[in-house]
C-alpha cells in the first residue's frame, strides 16, 4: 500500500529546512508586504517537500525495512511470488513492479513508488510462511490496488496542499504575535520566530490528521481492488488472518514504515485520528456489504 508516516517524516524534515531557508533569505518579511507572494513561496516549498518524499519513497522503504528485491528467483516461492505479481499487475493495467521480501516475523506487506509503472511491492517473510497462497495473493492484490489507484501521487498532492497552508498560516500567526501582541515594529523578532515554529508544529499535527483521514479512505479502495483481482472471499480471509495475528505478533515494521503496510496498529480515542488504516473489522464489514 501507499502511505505515510515515512512520507510525513520526510515532509517534516523538508519543512524545517524550508523554514530555515525562508528565514535566512529574509523571505519571512513578506508577511508584512504581500500575503499572495508568501502563499506562492510556501506552495513552492510545500510541494517540493511532498515530491521529494514521493521520489525517495522506494529507496527509503528498502532501507528502513531491509527489503531484498528479487532480481533472479532462487526458490519456488520466489518464482511464484514474481509470477503472481506479474499476473495481478497485468490484470490491473500497470507496469511490473519490483518485488521484494523483508525480514519480519509479523505478517505485513507494502507497496510504494512514484508512479504506476515504477513501483515496489514487498511482503514479509512471516506472511509468506503462515498465510495460504490464496491469502498471500489477496494481500498482493491489495498492494497492487494501491499502485493502480495512484494513491502515492494522490497523497503527495494532498500533502503538498497541507504543507503550503501550514507554512503560510504559521507565518501569519507569527507576524500577528510579533506586531500586534509584542508591538515589534523593527522587522521579525524572536517572538515571530518562536510563534511561527509553535504554530507550524500545531498546524502540522492537524494537517497530519487530514492526510491520515484520506489514507484511511484509500485503504477501503485498495481492499475493493484486491477483492476484484483476487476474489472477495480471499480478501476477507486475508484480513481476518491479519485480525487474528494483530494481537499475537508484535510488529517489527519500523514506526516510520507502519503506514505503508497492509495492516497497522490499533489506536483509541484522539490517537485514532492519526491512524493510517481503518480498523480491520470495518474493512471486513465493508467487503461483506459489497459482496
Provide the residue ranges of all domains of the chain, joining segments of one domain with +: 5-290
What distance lies between CA 283 and its chain's CA centroid? 18
Distance from the first to the final alpha carbon of the chain: 22
Name the DSSP letter for residue 184: -
**pLDDT by residue, tens only, the chain of 291 residues:** 334 455 555 555 555 555 555 555 455 554 455 677 788 888 888 888 888 888 998 999 999 999 999 999 999 999 999 999 999 999 999 999 999 999 999 999 999 998 899 999 999 999 999 999 999 999 999 999 999 999 988 888 898 889 899 988 998 898 888 888 888 777 677 888 899 999 999 998 898 898 899 989 999 999 999 999 999 999 999 999 998 887 644 444 544 444 445 665 555 555 677 788 899 999 999 999 986
Contacts of 205 (CB under 8 A, 6+ apart): none
> Does pTM surpass 0.85?
no
Find all residues with CB under 8 Å of 58, minimum gap 6, and list them.
98, 112, 113, 114, 118, 119, 120
Can you point out the beta strands (E) in 125-222? Answer: none
Count of alpha carbons within 13 Å of 175, Cβ hemisphere only?
Answer: 17
Q: Reduced to 3 states, what is the DSSP secondary structure of residue 261?
A: strand
Residue from 98, 137, 143, 224 carrying the catalytic annotation: 143
The alpha carbon of 127 is separated from its chain's Cα centroid by a whole number of angstroms, namely: 21
224 is catalytic: no
Amino acid at each position: 500500500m501507499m502511505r505515510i508516516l515515512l512520507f510525513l517524516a520526510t515532509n517534516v524534515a523538508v519543512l524545517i529546512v524550508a523554514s530555515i531557508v525562508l528565514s535566512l533569505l529574509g523571505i519571512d518579511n513578506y508577511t508584512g508586504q504581500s500575503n499572495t507572494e508568501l502563499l506562492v513561496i510556501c506552495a513552492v516549498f510545500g510541494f517540493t517537500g511532498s515530491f521529494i518524499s514521493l521520489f525517495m519513497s522506494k529507496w527509503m522503504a528498502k532501507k528502513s525495512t531491509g527489503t531484498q528485491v528479487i532480481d533472479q528467483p532462487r526458490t519456488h516461492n520466489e518464482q511464484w511470488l514474481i509470477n503472481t505479481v506479474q499476473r495481478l499487475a497485468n490484470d490491473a493495467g500497470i507496469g511490473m513492479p519490483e518485488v521484494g521480501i523483508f525480514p519480519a516475523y509479523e505478517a505485513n506487506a507494502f507497496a510504494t513508488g512514484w508512479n504506476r509503472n515504477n513501483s515496489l511491492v514487498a511482503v514479509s517473510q512471516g506472511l509468506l510462511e503462515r498465510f495460504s497462497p490464496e491469502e498471500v495473493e489477496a494481500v498482493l492484490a491489495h498492494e497492487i490496488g494501491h499502485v493502480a489507484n495512484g494513491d502515492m501521487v494522490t497523497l503527495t498532492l494532498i500533502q503538498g496542499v497541507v504543507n503550503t497552508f501550514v507554512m503560510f498560516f504559521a507565518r501569519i500567526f507569527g507576524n500577528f504575535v510579533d506586531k500586534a501582541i509584542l508591538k515589534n515594529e523593527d522587522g521579525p523578532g524572536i517572538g515571530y520566530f518562536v510563534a511561527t515554529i509553535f504554530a507550524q508544529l500545531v498546524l502540522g499535527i492537524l494537517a497530519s490528521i487530514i492526510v491520515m483521514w484520506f489514507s484511511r479512505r484509500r485503504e477501503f479502495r485498495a481492499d475493493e481492488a484486491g477483492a476484484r483481482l483476487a476474489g472477495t472471499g480471499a480478501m476477507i480471509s486475508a484480513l481476518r488472518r491479519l485480525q487474528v495475528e494483530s494481537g499475537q505478533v508484535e510488529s517489527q515494521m519500523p514506526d516510520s514504515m507502519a503506514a505503508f503496510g497492509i495492516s497497522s496498529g490499533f489506536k483509541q480515542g484522539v490517537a485514532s485520528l492519526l491512524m493510517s488504516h481503518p480498523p480491520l473489522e470495518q474493512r471486513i464489514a465493508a467487503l461483506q456489504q459489497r459482496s
